Structure 1
C-alpha cells in the first residue's frame, strides 16, 4: 500500500487525490487530504463570489472525489511552524504533495499602501466569503467612493459585490453580518482602474458583461482612454488581428477581442444610462491606462489614489505619459494578483513565489527530495483557471508514480496517521465533522429566513464540526 498525504483541499489538491486513486499503475493507494481549515474546497468555497452559483457548484464534483473510499478528508490540520512539520509528515506518509496555493496578495509597493482604508482584495473577498481568518471588524462601507486597483476577474468580482444590492445577495450563502453591512452601504461610485488597455485586461468577457447587467447600476467608460489601445482603435481588428497589430506586438487573443467589442458597444451607446429596473443607485467607472503611484492621505486615512497616466509603448507594454490624475476614495482595494508564501520546512523561491520543483518533485539544493511533491499555484505560480489544475496535478502524480518503487515503506510503521496527528496535539476534523458543519449552516440559514448561510468564525465552525449544535451568525 502507498500512503499519500495531499496538503490542501482546493481544486489542485482534490484533482491530485483523484488522479492518485484513478490510476492503475499502483493499485492500492490511500490518500489523506489535509487542510488547515475545517472545511474543504479551498478557493471554491472561500474565493468564488457568492453570486457565481454555477462556479460554486463545482463543490459537488469535488465532494464526490473526497467521498471516495480510498480518500479521507482531515481538516483543521496546520502544516508548518504552528502544526505538524513536513519532516514529521514524511514519517507518516510515503509521499506528501503540497497543494497550498498562493496565499497572499502581491503588494503595489507604493507610498500610502498601508494606510487605514487600504486593503487587499483578498481581505475583502475573505470577508464576504466568511473565511474564518477574515478580520473581525470587517468592512464599514461608509465611503461614497471606492477605488479598485486591477483589471482581472478578482477586481471585477469585488466591484460587482460592491455594486449589488443586499437584496440581490440575500439568496446566496454570504454571511449574515456582511449582508447587513452591504445593506447599509453608502458606496455610490466604484472606480476600477488598470494600468494597461482593455485588450490586455485579465477579466473574462462573461464577468465584464455581468457588470453591464446589474440592476440600477450605471457603467461608464471613457472612449478617449479606450481608443489609446491599438486593438480598440481598429473596429476590424477582430477580423484580421494578425494584420492589425503593431510590429513586435502579439495580436489580441480571442477573449481580448471579445472584451474590446463589449466596451466598444458601451462607448457607442453612450453607456451613461441606468442599468435595468430603474434609475441608477451606483455608478461603476471602468478606467484604463492608469498606473497607481501613491495612496493619498487625509486625517490619517486613505483619501484617494494618485495615478500616472500611461500610453502604449509600441511593444505590448505601457510607458508613463508624464501626467497624473487623482481619484478621491475613502476605500481602496488592491487586486493586482496573488503570490505564494514560504511554508516552514520547505524550500522556496522568493522571486517566483513558488517551491522549486522538477515536474512536481520538490528540489532541495537542486536535487529531488524523495517523497516530496507540489501541485497547483505553489508549483507553477498563480496562473490559469480552475481546470488548469487537472493537467498540473496529472504531471505531479505521474512523477510520484514513477518514484513509487523508491517510496513504498519509507514511512514509519505507524498504522494510523490520524492517531499520530492527535498525538502531536492536533484535532483533525474528519468528513463527518464537515457534514455537521453543512447541517449547521443549513440550520443557520433557516433561522434567518434565508438559504444556507456560512458560519464565519473558527469557534463556530469547530463547535459545529464537533457537536452539530447551534452557532452564531
Structure 2
C-alpha cells in the first residue's frame, strides 16, 4: 500500500491529494502544512471581499475529508521541524507543494524606509495570517502608491478604498477592520512601468475598482496613448483588449469629485523612495517609453508622487527548501515532469507540484493539471517505491518525536471558534489572527 506525504494544503497540495486518491484506490495520503489551518492562499491570499473565490475552500474541504486523506497542520518541514530525509523514511513518496513563499523586491534606494511594504505583507495582515505582525500600515497615511498592475495590486488598491460597511461582513480580523475603517487614505496611485495593454490584471478585477462606493477612478489619456496596443487594440488578445476598453472609459469620463480617488498610471518606473521625517514621503518615478521590442526604456524625465504608504506588488518568488535542490535563477526546484532532479538525476520518491515546480504563474485552476502531471509520474514510479520498508503509521512516529499535529478535528475547532468570535462582534465568521489563539482553539477539541 502506497503512503504519500503532500507538503502544503493550498490548491496545489489539495489537487495533488485528490489526483492521488482518484487514480489509486489504495493510496494513503497525509497532507502536512506548517500552519494549523488548511487551504493556503485561498485562506490567506484571496481578498476577504471575494466571497465567490473563497468558496473554493468547500471544494478543497471535500479532498481533505476523504477517507484516505489526513490533514496534519502545524507541522514544520525543514529547519526546526521534520527534515526532508526523515519524511523519506516515513513515506514511500513526498510531494512538495509549498508555493512561492516570498515577494520580489524593487532593488531601489529607500525601499526599506518605514511605510514601505510588500503587498504580500499587507495582504497577510488583513487576511489574518498568523505570521503577520500587528503593523500599523495606515499610520498617518493620506496618499498611497501601489507599485504593480496585476491582480494583487488591484486587490490591495481596492481594500484601501473600501469602507467599513463593505468590509464588516467579511472574515477580516477585527484589528485590521478597525484600522481600515479609520483610514485617512483618500488618494491611491496604482502604477505600472509599461503600458495598459501589458498590464497583468484581469478585466473582472479591474472593473471592480469602478464600482466602489464614494470612489472615482482616473486614468491619464496621454499615458494610455503611449501604448501602441491602445492606439490599435484590434491586434490585442481579447483579455487585454477588454482591459484597454475599461481604462479608456475611465480616461474619457468627467471627474465626479468623490471622497476617494484611484489613479491608474502607466509608463512610470520606480527609481527611489524619498524620505520625509524618517518615513517614506514620496516615490520618485522615471518616465518610460516603449522600446519597440515589447519592453520599455528610460527617458531621463522624473516625477515624484507623494505617498506615506508604499506597497510593492511585483511578483512572488520561491525560496530554497532545506534538503532539496533549488534553482535560484527561476526560484524553483529542478524537476522532470514533477520528479525532483539532483544534479540532473531523478531523486527517487521526491516530487514537486505548484509554484515551487513551475514558478508563480497561472490562476488557482492551473494547479490542477500541474498536480495531475506530477501524480502521473509518481504512480508510474510506485511499483519500485512500495518495496521500501516503512516504520509504520507516520503519525505515531511524529508523535514519538514530540510533534503533535493539528488534525482535522482541531481545524474544525478553529472554525467553531472563529464563528463564535464573529457572533460576539456582531459579524459573521471572523478569523483568529495569531498562533496562540489558533492553537488554543485547535487544542480545545481534545478537552
Retained in 1: the 8 A contact 2:209–2:217?
A: yes
Q: Specify the alignment match of 2:318 in structure 1.
A: 340
Retained in 1: the 8 A contact 2:102–2:319?
A: yes
Residue 421 of structure 2 corresponds to residue 423 of structure 1: no
| TM-score, normalised relative to structure 1 | 0.93
User: CA offset at residue 424 of structure 1?
Assistant: 2.2
Q: Specify the alignment match of 2:291 in structure 1.
A: 313
User: CA offset at residue 406 of structure 1?
Assistant: 1.1
User: CA offset at residue 299 of structure 1?
Assistant: 2.0
Residue 374 of structure 2 corresponds to residue 390 of structure 1: no
Retained in 2: the 8 A contact 1:92–1:411?
A: no
User: CA offset at residue 141 of structure 1?
Assistant: 3.9
User: CA offset at residue 86 of structure 1?
Assistant: 0.5
Residue 394 of structure 2 corresponds to residue 410 of structure 1: no
| TM-score, normalised relative to structure 2 | 0.98
Q: Specify the alignment match of 1:163 in structure 2.
A: 161
| CA deviation profile, 1:169-219 (whole Å, cap 9, x unmatched) | 000000001000011101110110000001000000001100000000011
Retained in 1: the 8 A contact 2:186–2:261?
A: yes
- Aligned equivalents of 2:253 and 2:192: distance in 1? 22
* Aligned partner (choices 324, 343, 348) of residue 370 of structure 1: 348
Residue 329 of structure 2 corresponds to residue 329 of structure 1: no
* Aligned partner (choices 426, 441, 444) of residue 464 of structure 1: 441
Q: Specify the alignment match of 2:247 in structure 1.
A: 263
User: CA offset at residue 315 of structure 1?
Assistant: 1.3
Runs of 4+ with deviation above 3 angstroms: none
User: CA offset at residue 138 of structure 1?
Assistant: 4.3
User: CA offset at residue 27 of structure 1?
Assistant: 3.0
Retained in 1: the 8 A contact 2:3–2:92?
A: yes
Segments of structure 1 that go 5 or more residues without pairing to the other structure are 242-251, 275-279
Retained in 2: the 8 A contact 1:361–1:399?
A: yes
- Aligned equivalents of 1:13 and 1:351: distance in 2? 24
- Aligned equivalents of 1:28 and 1:330: distance in 2? 57
SS at match of 2:364: coil
Q: Specify the alignment match of 2:63 in structure 1.
A: 65
Retained in 1: the 8 A contact 2:172–2:431?
A: yes
- Aligned equivalents of 1:424 and 1:293: distance in 2? 50
| CA deviation profile, 1:109-130 (whole Å, cap 9, x unmatched) | 1111111111000000000000
Q: Specify the alignment match of 1:27 in structure 2.
A: 25
Structure 2 counterparts to residues 7-406 of structure 1, below 5 A: 7-23=7-23, 26-234=24-232, 237-238=233-234, 241=235, 252-270=236-254, 272-273=255-256, 280-406=258-384
Retained in 2: the 8 A contact 1:86–1:345?
A: yes
- Aligned equivalents of 1:141 and 1:217: distance in 2? 21
Retained in 2: the 8 A contact 1:102–1:338?
A: yes
User: CA offset at residue 78 of structure 1?
Assistant: 0.3
> Judging changes above 3 Å, is the alpha-carbon distance between structure 1 residues 411 and 312 closer, same or farther for their aligned structure 2 residues?
farther
| CA deviation profile, 1:49-72 (whole Å, cap 9, x unmatched) | 000000000000000111000001
SS at match of 2:157: helix
- Aligned equivalents of 1:287 and 1:120: distance in 2? 19
The number of aligned residues is: 447
Segments of structure 2 that go 5 or more residues without pairing to the other structure are none
- Aligned equivalents of 1:329 and 1:447: distance in 2? 37
